[in-house]
Amino acid sequence: AQSVAQPEDQVNVAEGNPLTVKCTYSVSGNPYLFWYVQYPNRGLQFLLKYITGDNLVKGSYGFEAEFNKSQTSFHLKKPSALVSDSALYFCAVRDYRQTGANNLFFGTGTRLTVIP
């Protein structure tokens, strides 16, 4: 069965510093991995995805993520944090081979706070 773990409920980082939000996954077939961001009282916004190819994936708003197959991880990163990056971040996996469906399984979310 598929699963996603986000080990940190909360991450605090100073503005201008690099940030990392951690994610590990478990899936039976090829992993299709996604990161989303959610601002208060809003829906989820897509940041980036890993399907295949380069392990470093670049996405929206300067975010990137590194896929590590041996560690089954897909950590979200940004070289220099902005106060406006403060939000709730979700990692998600799709197990298409298992389910034949498009739905994603989400982690529990990590609240990122960027301190001015």
Q: Which residues bind other proteins (CB under 8 A)?
A: 30, 32, 34, 36, 41-46, 49, 51, 90, 94, 96-97, 99-109
Element (H, E) at 96: helix 96-99
Q: Which is nearer to other proteins, 13 or 27 (CB)?
A: 27
Torsions phi, psi for 21 (to 5 deg): -120, 125
Q: Which is nearer to other proteins, 36 or 63 (CB)?
A: 36
| Shortest separation between residue 84's beta carbon and other proteins, angstroms | 19
Q: Which is nearer to other proteins, 15 or 109 (CB)?
A: 109
Residue 62 backbone zone (phi > 0: left; psi -120 to 50: alpha; other: beta): left
